[in-house]
């Protein structure tokens, strides 16, 4: 059975409204402890506009849509810095360990051309 990669996509791919930031995920502690929240992510989506971008981190669930674990709103400049740093880490990892391959359906889900190597 092939693995299907379904990226988290917000309903109708609309930017979240500010009032929707109240409940950031079911793994959150109700009391503010000051500790960072740690969760597993295997589903990801980005919504971007002229002045901001929202990164959605989710978790795949068997036989269900992915669960949204976190929403992070950033500037376009921070999004570019995130992309540059993520690319650097992937490049360093691949140089140390070997190439990372992704199933073609990941590229198809995000409408990205498969990298030619």
What's the pLDDT tens digit per position in 48-99? 999 999 999 988 877 787 788 889 999 999 999 999 999 999 999 999 999 9
Give the C-alpha separation, 57 to 54, whole Å. 10
Alpha helices in 4-103 (DSSP H): 76-96
Two structure tokens written together for 34: 């000051």
Lowest mean pLDDT among 12-21, 55-64, 108-117: 12-21
Two structure tokens written together for 91: 């490049």
The label of the residue with tokens 């059975």 reads: 1
pTM: 0.63
Report which of residues 116 and 66 the model is more confident about: 66
The residue among 100, 55, 91 whose CA lies nearest residue 73 is 55
């Amino acid at each position: 059975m092939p693995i299907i990669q379904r990226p988290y996509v917000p309903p109708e791919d609309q930017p979240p409204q500010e009032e929707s930031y109240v409940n950031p995920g079911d793994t959150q502690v109700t009391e503010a402890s000051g500790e960072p929240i740690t969760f597993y992510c295997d589903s990801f989506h980005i919504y971007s506009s002229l002045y901001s971008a929202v990164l959605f981190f989710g978790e795949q669930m068997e036989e269900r849509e992915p669960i949204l674990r976190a929403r992070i709103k950033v500037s376009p400049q921070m999004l570019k810095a995130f992309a540059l740093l993520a690319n650097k880490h992937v490049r360093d990892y691949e140089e140390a360990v070997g190439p990372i391959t992704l199933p073609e359906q990941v590229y198809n889900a995000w409408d990205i051309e498969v990298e030619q190597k």
